[in-house]
Amino acid sequence: MHIDWWTLGLQAINVLVLVWLLRHFLFQPIKAVIEARRAAAAGLLQEAETARAAAQAELASVEARRRDFQREGDAILTAAHAQAAAERKAMLDQARGEAGRILAEAHAVLDRDRAAQRKTLEAEAGELAVAMARRLLDLLPPRQVTLALLDGLATEIDQLQEAARRDLATADAIVIATATPLAPEIQAQWRDHVAQRLGAGPRLEFRHEPALIAGVELRGPHTLLRRNWRADLERLARALPLAPQVRDVQQLA
Amino acid sequence: MQSPLETHPAFHLGPLPLSAPVLVTWGLMLALAGGSWLLTRRLALRPGRAQAALELVVETIDQQIRETMRVPAEPYLALIGTFFLFVLTANWSSLVPGIEPPTASIETDAALALIVFVAVIVHGVRVRGWRGYLRNFLYPNILMAPLNILETLTRSFALMVRLFGNVMSGVFVIGIVLSLVGFLVPVPLMALELLTGAVQAYIFSVLAMVFIGGAVEGEPGEARERNDR
């Protein structure tokens, strides 16, 4: 077997040259374009990542703004609630005050009406009492009533103060008025009573006055002793808030 | 009658004898380099079909280097890629009537094996330094140094003989059959020769990667530490 060393050397050189040629015209350009594409893809990915990050940042910003709006809305709502509650409280307080005032006025009106009604009732009751007393007195024997009243009048003379007793004792005349006319023996009996108590100085005058309603009066110059039911009724009527018409009747009487 | 195992000059260019394998190789170089130049003149980020095919070839070779050598492919891409493309086109050049593939001559295969042998030393020293490269022969111990040196020589020789034997035998068989039985009978054998040529180009490239990778890697784990650094 024969080896052509020239051919071997030339083929070695040829292969080495081919290595250089293919490196220069094939492998390097192809690798370069692949790398460029990879870089472009990486750039695109980077841009996409940047855009995604920006979008996320924008989303976060929008979310933050939305939360701010929510917070602001909540604050406004809370303030509105507070203001509404305050206004409601104020209106309630005002309504309570107004209601209290109206209630107080109503109570006052009621009190006034009740007082007026009570006065009316008392007046009517007094009038009724006077009417009943008149009826009851009408049922009693006038003479017995007058005697009992005269006994009471004698007791009052006994209880008079010294000045009043002296005034009566020094009087020229003493009038004894009764609702029913006194019998002569009663008059004589009374003259004795007066003489025993006041002395024989005063002259007694007996008068018949039906308006006294079962009663007697002893009238001196400056002293008046009343012992009759009419006087008691008048005192009672003065104590009671009698109806105006009753008072008018009493005054007339 | 000339021996098919011998290469004879086709003509002389001055004192330089030019044989048929050299001329065919020049033609292949012209086709490969010219075709590459034509196809890579207007590369674009959006590739056309031709560019996509070229990128597929280059990326496949690149990936094969990375997977086989477990190192970055860039320093070896041109050499290994040229081995593969040249051997493949050389083997398939037999399809052209009247052309005998350059790899069917032992000088071409010897030149290729010689380049692999030198590339192993150059890349081993480049990556690991002289000491590191020479220490590779002492693995697993110093007693194995003669055998390792002998293995380095014989494997390059085997690389040469393997390619030469496969391609030359195919050409030889097709020639014999063609001379004996007629025009269309060798066609299946030629198709088989296409497959054989592709397989031989792949085997040659892979063995070149393994040899260079072994020199670059050195002892087990050394390349991994280097890559980590």
pLDDT of residue A228: 64
- Integer-rounded Cα radius of gyration of chain A: 66
Task: Report the mean per-residue pLDDT for chain A.
Answer: 84
How many distinct structural domains can be found in chain A? 2
Closest CA to B37 of A105, A122, A23: A23
pLDDT: is B71 or A202 the higher one?
B71
Would you tell me how many other CB atoms lie within 10 Å of the CB of residue B58? 22
Q: Is residue A85 situated within a structural domain?
A: yes
Shortest distance between the Cα of A48 and any Cα of chain B, in A, equals: 19
Question: Are residues B10 and A4 in contact, defined by beta-carbon separation less than 8 angstroms?
Answer: no
3-state per-residue secondary structure call for A37-65: HHHHHHHHHHHHHHHHHHHHHHHHHHHHH
B156-208 confidence digits (pLDDT tens): 999 999 999 988 888 888 888 888 887 777 788 888 888 999 999 999 999 99
Q: Domain ranges in chain B?
A: 49-228
Any domain includes A243? yes
Residue B86, chain A, CB below 8 Å: the answer is yes
Please indicate if any CB of chain B lies within 8 Å of the CB of A41.
no
For the segment A186-226, what is each residue's pLDDT rounded down to a tens digit?
888 888 888 888 887 788 888 888 777 667 888 888 888 87
Residues of B in contact with A33 (CB under 8 A): 43-45, 47, 51, 55
Chain B residues in contact with A4 by the CB 8 A cut-off are 6-9, 17, 19, 107
- Mean pLDDT of all residues in B213-221: 74
- Tell me the residue range of the domain where A243 lies: 140-252
Q: What is the pLDDT of residues A80-95, one digit of tens each?
A: 999 999 999 999 999 9
From chain B residues 10-69, the ones with a CB under 8 A of any chain A CB are 16-19, 21-22, 25-26, 28-29, 32-33, 36-37, 39-40, 43-45, 47, 51, 54-55, 58-59, 62
Q: How far is B73 from chain A (nearest CA, A)?
A: 11
> Is there a single domain that holds both residue A78 and residue A154?
no
- Residues A248 and A162 occupy one common structural domain: yes
User: What are B2-21's pLDDT values in tens digits?
Assistant: 566 777 777 888 888 888 89
A34 and A147 share one domain = no
Shared-domain flag, residues A3 and A113: yes
Cross-chain residue pair A3–B18, CB shorter than 8 Å: no
Per the CB < 8 Å rule, is A6 touching B9? yes
Q: Contact, B90 vs B108, CB < 8 A?
A: yes
Give percent of chain A above pLDDT 90. 42
Residues A169 and A199 sit within 8 Å (Cβ to Cβ): yes
What is the ipTM, given to two decimal places? 0.90
How large is the angle between the packed helices A28-139 and B49-69, nearest 10 degrees? 90
pLDDT one-digit tens code per residue, A102-146:
999 999 999 999 899 888 888 888 778 777 877 877 777 777 777
Do A105 and A147 share a domain, yes or no?
Answer: no
Instruction: Say if residue A112 is in the same domain as residue A210.
Output: no
CB A247 within 8 A of CB A253: no
| Residue A218 near residue A174 (C-beta atoms within 8 A) | yes
Interface test with B, best of A10, A23, A35, A44 (most B CBs within 10 A): A10
Distance from the first to the final alpha carbon of chain A: 188
Beta strands in chain A (DSSP E): 173-178, 203-208, 215-219, 224-228
Please indicate, yes or no, if residue A134 is contained in any of the structural domains.
no
Q: Are residues A227 and A114 in the same domain?
A: no
Residue A69 has pLDDT above 90, yes or no: yes
> How does pLDDT run across B92-116, given as a tens digit for each residue?
998 888 888 999 898 999 999 999 9
Residues of chain B with C-beta less than 8 angstroms from the C-beta of A19: 78-79, 82
B25-56: per-residue pLDDT in tens? 999 999 999 999 999 998 888 888 999 999 99
Which chain B residues touch A37 with a CB distance below 8 Å? 45
pLDDT over 70 percentage in chain B:
92
- Residue in B closest to A2 by C-alpha: B6
Q: What is the pLDDT of residue B8?
A: 76
Are A19 and B34 a contacting pair, CB within 8 Å?
A: no
Give the residue-averaged pLDDT of B54-80: 92
The reported pLDDT for the residue numbered B1 is 46
A205 within some domain: yes
Residues of chain B in contact with residue A30, where contact means CB-CB under 8 angstroms, are 40, 43, 54-55, 58
Say if CB B94 and CB B100 are below 8 A apart: yes
Which pLDDT does position B109 carry in this prediction? 93
CA-based nearest distance B13→chain A, Å: 12
